[in-house]
Structure 1
């Protein structure tokens, strides 16, 4: 570690030890009489059961204009800071409930104005249907994060989770395979479902993890990460799943279209006392799985293969709320994708088949020790999560494929199949302490173990078996962090933190790093936010072992494995809310990775694995506009310009090192990307 980085880490460790804070905090009310503004806070719950409603949408409105927005936390609580003295309306919306509005007055000499909501579930009948809608994407004016709301989403039944990511996240682009690239990074993002992480799957897997119907809210965090977040964090995708209100509900739907497109879905939910249950199952099929896949050099046109594909999704959630201080969530998910992959096809013959299976089981318990929302007393929270993640990838090419895989120095050509599977089990433990308003401290640990098996086999075009390789794999990841935040007033917030990560993978041994992070935010008023951020990042690769097959492919020579990516990340940003219903965000970032990570394909096969690039640099600027004026029209627009390029040698992936080739653009560098939506 350089002396400069050691100095950064030492400063952050000192701050962590001083007992400062972790998440957006309420400013101290000492000397409240000197303030010319105040805060509005409260809670949102079910009127019949008292169940807290997380992910609820809260808006502060004055003279018909939205002044500020917020979302409720896991206990249904919200706080909106720095409101000038005066009269406001507080609007609360939640999927499956009747919207409610309350009037509230903010006085300059009061610290916090409380207003609690008890929402009434909407009956499921035609008289309750209101033909009103807005775009599902909003900008959090305090953090700059983009937030997706299922309550406002009316997408096509064929839409997938990766499409929502691509359409929602500024700087995101979706490849024809369905993989999402974010800020020039190659699918380096992590899902958190109800607070529990879902580790990445097998490299090259094209399976959607879950169906969008299970979502209540998604918070996209593409920068400014607290020390809590490690692993693959080009984006942190925080998903809050839903349980509809009321008694037993059942709905079934289906669709059909061109290219034999068809789908069916079934959702069932109910609530009984302190328990809530939700199940969602869906099937989708099409004869146009991937497009485009080949460029015809004779006709100079792009040719779309009509390759069949089928997706199956199953999700179940059980929620138990024994008291207003405890929330327990159990999520179980399973998905399967089966499709034909035209890899190295001959004369349009498609007889390759790939099946991807992914699943996860998440169990989370959140407990708070304070007893009153808005209380000036000391408060704290404990979160404990356990998770199990598994998946498999089975690829069987057709015998009509060109035999291109070679075991050097043997000159015979083979067709290569793969059968890979993995399982990951882990724990996440967090503790948050707020000694008083304006001061918080958070610390925690995330640890997981991964095991699995990788089998590769070959055949000739005549069907005769060739060489094969079989290998077990195992590895682990451990991350420990402490983070603080201090808000001396509602206009300033300093967030600092440090984390230690250790990654263990086959043949790579133990790789570790200490990563300091700091973010300074300035909130002159509820309509404006400025921030600057620096973070040291550590992105481990998947726990995989392709050494056996790549060693055979390279004549018995196996090079060094792929190592974790190590980044220095810098970001500045500004968010402004106009009084006529428009929110704009402008941000710029620069990242230097030494080494960086990209992916590569084993020659003569469809096997995808991660590789290292000696250094990667990514620079970009982003602009977001959320448009919600008075009236029936709303919309949003994302525009990003970034440049991702590499320097030096390409190593790892169990391939012999390629010599430096100067500066080169990366294949996931989208330069200019944009997405827009208008709802009337």
Structure 2
């Protein structure tokens, strides 16, 4: 399959809406690039001659990989792609979390707990592995998916084709490494300041009709969660994480392949302390052995001991067929995700009036099937189904103070137990036609039918249409509109029995608690991209979303568990500008995104909010807590000695944010999300030295890496602790110097 290459390296994107032309835009760059995904991925060049049998294995694997990706094109949407070289050039490389790489894409905003917001949405992000969607999990911070498992990845936004449902702000599709394209092994060690240690191992190979790849790592550091104060080191911020990911594939014949992918992630975090806090409640009396009583001194807030454990396990079994006119893939999916929060029993009670041990888990199983029928030159039909069954279990054991009749605290804690469980289902089906009206004009027309039967019962027929026009050489226009149905994340719907906390220190101010609803959207997108010279491209993209029952999430209470709620009305709009340049050893890119996300009248889970805030939002539009007016990123890369066996790669990235929202103080009271925290800009650098055929290592290759995160040690705030659904202040990472070495096996 011929691949048309544009630019060649770094793509600076400011994109509005999501435009993808009907031909592939692929770049083997070191930085993020924008491309159309109508066709398959780029081919892999071999570094050494292959035998006839090996060549057959490589060609078959590549053809099946291309067919799998062609099942889910992004016609009419905007796609930013990250090649393997782009991932390795990002500061941290394979050792960096996925979110740090995605921040280099247009319209992606940084938040605490490793969260990202795409085009003004709170999460609403769909993760896929080789085109297979992973069900939702309860994990809030950390990454269950490892960057080093990705051969490449893409972020698709805008008016999505009908094959994408449920989570539609952005689709992150990771094309995994495999034993054919990524043959061989690598042993790495990485570490640096704040006790950061990360050993890792990866290996891929093929044996006859089988091929496989596996990678594992362990992380120990003292930067697990964002610092609550602007100091260089956080108080009580140790984390330990373990990850294993791998898959095995069996090619039965050139047209048929089976694959099995599985992963395990186990992470344990201390929650950073915020010193200098004043306790709000009387010092409690505790009983030991139900006999002795003792007075417990209120602990200093810098000495609290709160921690949280998060586990994610998943497995995917897929069957793929590729024939002359028909391609198909069917997958069975399992995922288990759990979170367990352990409080400081004395401290949480003294400072919050409740010390709550909380556990939440979700088990999901489902099936996804996609089929492509190349009817003729003008029409390509696609269709498929998705269905998931889910079981959520929530348990808590809380210590609270009872209240006397006059409302005063009785300093004798009591226990309150609460547990609930719910089984539900998500399902969807789609059909669409890619119609090449002329050589320069392509229409993608489709529709989905989605349903949710969980805490909420909803269904919707969602038409989608996009048009891509290539009026002249190097230019592409796109325009599209879509209907979306977004179910509330099953695992984030609060199920607390409020009556259990009546007449206690944890009693809510009011008991209004309407059920969380599904969000329904009208989404519009228009954009243009132009290649000005063989080395320089620019693009612009604009989008608008009108929402009914706009979904948002917030942290209410000490456990880092997000709770979903709705605004009765919402609108999100923005524009993105992008540019890239690549010539010789240089690659440059940059993005600027302008966005505004507003909501009005919270109409679910109201008990989490102050009554004054509810009244204000009932009559006024407010900014969403994750709304950021200006977001920008940029990067540059240079390769020295690139024609030798010891190339040296130097790269740098920049992230700018105008600030997430915070409450605004006025003479008549606070305006929810009425202001924003101070703007910030950070710079990161990377230096990577490759040394090939090292005699001391038996002719194997070696790589040396040096990374500097937040080069100028910028003190910047992500959250100040105020705002709708904001639990605590969080500051960005201070300067961090990291280094590593890798050896090929």
Would the TM-score normalized by the shorter structure come out above 0.5? Answer: yes
**Does the 8 A contact of 1:649 with 1:661 survive in 2?**
no
Question: Structure 2 vs 1, CA of residues 653 and 161 (structure 1 numbering), >3 Å: closer, same or farther?
Answer: farther
Distance in 1 between residues matched to 2:57 and 2:366, nearest whole Å: 38
1:490 offset after TM fit, Å?
A: 1.9
Aligned to 1:146: 80
Distance in 2 between residues matched to 1:184 and 1:519, nearest whole Å: 22
- Structure 1: segments with no counterpart, 5+ residues: 1-40, 43-56, 73-78, 83-90, 101-116, 122-139, 296-300, 371-378, 407-412
Distance in 2 between residues matched to 1:418 and 1:276, nearest whole Å: 42
**Does the 8 A contact of 1:145 with 1:219 survive in 2?**
yes
1:246 offset after TM fit, Å?
A: 7.9
Question: Structure 2 vs 1, CA of residues 194 and 331 (structure 1 numbering), >3 Å: closer, same or farther?
Answer: same
Which of 165, 175, 190 aligns to 2:102? It is 165
Question: Structure 2 vs 1, CA of residues 607 and 463 (structure 1 numbering), >3 Å: closer, same or farther?
Answer: farther
**Does the 8 A contact of 2:577 with 2:593 survive in 1?**
yes
1:306 offset after TM fit, Å?
A: 5.2
**Does the 8 A contact of 1:196 with 1:386 survive in 2?**
no
TM-score norm. by structure 1 comes to: 0.75
Aligned to 2:241: 311
Aligned to 1:88: none
Aligned to 2:153: 218
**Larger deviation: 235-244 or 603-612?**
603-612
Distance in 2 between residues matched to 1:490 and 1:424, nearest whole Å: 44
Distance in 2 between residues matched to 1:550 and 1:265, nearest whole Å: 46
Distance in 1 between residues matched to 2:182 and 2:595, nearest whole Å: 49
Q: Per the alignment, in what secondary structure is the counterpart of residue 372 of structure 2?
A: strand
Distance in 1 between residues matched to 2:382 and 2:477, nearest whole Å: 24
1:314 offset after TM fit, Å?
A: 0.5
Distance in 2 between residues matched to 1:535 and 1:246, nearest whole Å: 37
- Superposition map of 1:30-429 within 5 A: 41-42=1-2, 59=5, 70=25, 94=44, 97-98=46-47, 144-154=78-88, 155=90, 156=92, 158-167=95-104, 169-202=105-138, 205-245=140-180, 249-294=184-229, 304-305=234-235, 307-342=237-272, 346-370=300-324, 379-403=325-349, 413-429=353-369
2:584 maps to 1:635: no
- Structure 2: segments with no counterpart, 5+ residues: 9-20, 28-34, 59-73, 276-299, 402-410, 502-506, 639-745
Distance in 1 between residues matched to 2:475 and 2:179, nearest whole Å: 35
Question: What's the Cα RMSD here?
Answer: 3.3
1:512 offset after TM fit, Å?
A: 1.0
1:578 offset after TM fit, Å?
A: 2.4
Distance in 2 between residues matched to 1:570 and 1:363, nearest whole Å: 35
**Larger deviation: 670-679 or 544-553?**
544-553
Question: Structure 2 vs 1, CA of residues 246 and 493 (structure 1 numbering), >3 Å: closer, same or farther?
Answer: closer
Aligned to 2:395: 455
Which of 476, 479, 492 aligns to 1:529? It is 476
Question: Structure 2 vs 1, CA of residues 356 and 491 (structure 1 numbering), >3 Å: closer, same or farther?
Answer: same
1:342 offset after TM fit, Å?
A: 3.0
**Larger deviation: 611-620 or 538-547?**
538-547
2:421 maps to 1:472: yes
**Larger deviation: 145-154 or 543-552?**
543-552
Aligned to 1:505: 454
Question: Structure 2 vs 1, CA of residues 69 and 227 (structure 1 numbering), >3 Å: closer, same or farther?
Answer: closer
1:141 offset after TM fit, Å?
A: 11
**Does the 8 A contact of 1:259 with 1:287 survive in 2?**
yes
**Does the 8 A contact of 1:364 with 1:384 survive in 2?**
yes
Q: Per the alignment, in what secondary structure is the counterpart of residue 365 of structure 1?
A: strand
Distance in 2 between residues matched to 1:248 and 1:271, nearest whole Å: 7
**Does the 8 A contact of 1:81 with 1:526 survive in 2?**
no
- Superposition map of 1:575-586 within 5 A: 575-586=529-540
**Does the 8 A contact of 1:249 with 1:268 survive in 2?**
yes
Q: Which deviations, in whole Å up to 9, do the C-alpha atoms of 1:535-561 show, x marking residues without a partner?
A: 111111121353234454556946222
1:431 offset after TM fit, Å?
A: 2.0
Between the two proteins, the alignment pairs up a number of residues equal to: 550
1:654 offset after TM fit, Å?
A: 7.0
2:459 maps to 1:493: no
Q: Per the alignment, in what secondary structure is the counterpart of residue 213 of structure 1?
A: helix
Which of 457, 466, 471 aligns to 1:519? It is 466
- Superposition map of 1:534-613 within 5 A: 534-544=481-491, 546-550=494-498, 552-553=500-501, 557=511, 559-603=513-557, 606-613=560-567
**Does the 8 A contact of 1:386 with 1:427 survive in 2?**
yes
TM-score norm. by structure 2 comes to: 0.68
1:588 offset after TM fit, Å?
A: 0.4
Distance in 2 between residues matched to 1:151 and 1:81, nearest whole Å: 19
